[in-house]
A and B are shown apart, each in its own frame.
Chain A
């Protein structure tokens, strides 16, 4: 008979910790929840207030402006298809969640990325944390989100921000670290302070890399927002979720294709921003 080794109650500890956080910081989480919800509703309402053709024209124009006419035409066709399939509203809801999650993620990620680039110690602490955040199965974040923020869009944003933030941090750090040392030396030689170096040399030179990170963040945010339908987030994800529950592959693919179109548009637009507008 084998000796019985008691299993470590890791899950129990984590749950205890989360419970404690939920009860102790409920004011904070409720505050965050309210602010985020207001943001989501505001943006969503604004986008829905515009007539479909109006918003479509704006997006097409934007694509044309930042990229080229081809992307403009592609955007027009893709969005018209989504409209035609009757998925306009869920598409807007998804877009809103992606935009807000990305904004929050980027606002946190860039300062953290800069700090990690400049401090070796912070870099060494933060990299394993990022590994953890990225490799933890995305669904797992959904579970604690519910006690924190309840079912719905705010929880979706919370899980999405955590899941999509790492690339923005990583790329910011990478971008700053790969500024050639002779340029840093040149800035030093002319007596630049740390902040002058950062603002005048390191940040502008790392901008393309940072933009690549933001592009990655947007893509991850989109995928997570769709998954977040499981905890009640609105949007294309919930269309897919409904199709699964009712076993209707047709509906599922329609919503899925809408996600693909949205993803391609977001990707191409941010990539064009990164490369700089072509004339």
Chain B
């Protein structure tokens, strides 16, 4: 779906060398030398090398990597808080590395709002004055900026705190102020540098959720830096994995989880233990509709129609799974005037036990787009798992409280709701 979107920021061949002889380091890099080698020979650190990616309009792009991977450098190159050594960063037709100082200020004001890991609120300013900062810098008159800032504070749930000072607020609230400062500025791109990493896990989960809602509502192009894969999976439309200053993989959370580009990514994903701890029954949803083996094709078609699905699981009277009926096959049966769909079933689907780890389900989705059937030992149909639910469940479970473990015997329809409720609490 991303392919059709407008590109907001285009980054090409971005390279950053830290040190006083960047030219020499660049040459060595072009000759194919790696970071440690270049450092040994010249003392120059290759912070970023040959970074290429696009940020699409309205997406939430997560740049993920461990410390030292260059993610903070990368986000700071975008608005030139760190001067890139080489490469192109084009936003709305302007190539940022080539801008004059004056044009750069203008560009930062118009395009970039930044939220920082340690909040970076101004301690001598009230919450309201902090939120107004960007507008004040742009010379917006007092009345207007007060109005806009108030609204931004409302968006992040801080109304009533306008006159407080940052040191009177908790960490979570301080970061809300940071977010309000960014939102009030109404720039075209939101840069979030490990924005939630300094918060405790519960608050972090809430903030992620709120960011998702805000992002959904405002469709603001967001570049989010994190070292936490769970966070990346939870909030990212797409994820860029960074290692030693180079991109390892770009893809949707699903793509990264199912097709890790190399061992490094694969090992990373192993860190998402939840996919091993959680099992099919956690992500399982009740089956919306099933057909009976004795149902006629027309009845079956109507059931499918009513539920807006194009394949349906067929069971016996005591809910033993027989097979899957696809809409084409059922239509064929109707055309041929058969009075039962029994002979038109396919076995080309996946059925798993309720204890199957979610981790194993990823691969199955990539083969077939049908929901995966969850059956018990006697092949009784318990429910289905759809693609989105697996990721949802992982993302929720990435939050604390070990909800997955406690819910394990609630192998019924309500398991989902319970987990969801626990996750939100």
Contact = CB atoms under 8 A, between A and B. Distances in A.
19 contacts: A180-B120, A182-B116, A182-B118, A183-B120, A183-B122, A185-B116, A185-B120, A186-B133, A188-B81, A189-B79, A190-B113, A190-B134, A190-B137, A191-B105, A191-B108, A191-B112, A191-B137, A191-B138, A196-B137
Interface in A184-207: 185-193, 196, 200-201, 204-205, 207
Interface in A158-193: 180, 182-183, 185-193
Contacts of A193: 105
Interface of A: 180, 182-183, 185-193, 196, 200-201, 204-205, 207
B114 interface: yes
Given A190-B114, A192-B137, A185 B122 contact: no
Interface of B: 79, 81, 105-109, 112-114, 116, 118, 120, 122-124, 133-134, 136-138, 185, 191
A161 to B, nearest CB: 30
Given A205-B123, A205-B124, A190 B133 contact: yes
Nearest to B129: A200
A169 to B, nearest CB: 22
A205 B166 CA distance: 14
Contact of B81 (A189, A196, A204, A205): A189
B193 to A, nearest CB: 9
Contacts of B185: 190
Interface of A is mostly: helix
B136 A200 contact: yes
A201 B137 CA distance: 11
The 3 lowest CB-CB distance pairs between A and B, nearest first, are: A191-B109, A191-B108, A186-B120
A204 B124 contact: yes
Nearest to B113: A190
A182 B120 contact: yes
A182 B122 CA distance: 10
A186 B106 contact: no
Which of A191, A200, A204, A207 has the most chain B CB atoms inside 10 A of its CB?
A191
A185 B73 CA distance: 13
Contacts of A188: 81, 108
Contacts of B123: 205
B109 to A, nearest CB: 4
Contacts of A187: 133, 137
Contacts of A192: 105, 137
Nearest to B102: A193
Contacts of B122: 183, 186, 200-201, 205
B205 to A, nearest CB: 25
A189 B124 CA distance: 18
Given A200-B136, A205-B124, A189 B118 contact: no
Contact of A190 (B106, B108, B118): B108
A6 to B, nearest CB: 47
B19 to A, nearest CB: 19
Contacts of A190: 108-109, 113-114, 133-134, 137, 185
Which of A183, A186, A204 has the most chain B CB atoms inside 10 A of its CB?
A186
Given A182-B120, A183-B122, A205-B123, A189 B136 contact: no
A182 to B, nearest CB: 4
Nearest to B80: A188
Contact of B114 (A180, A186, A196, A205): A186
A269 to B, nearest CB: 22
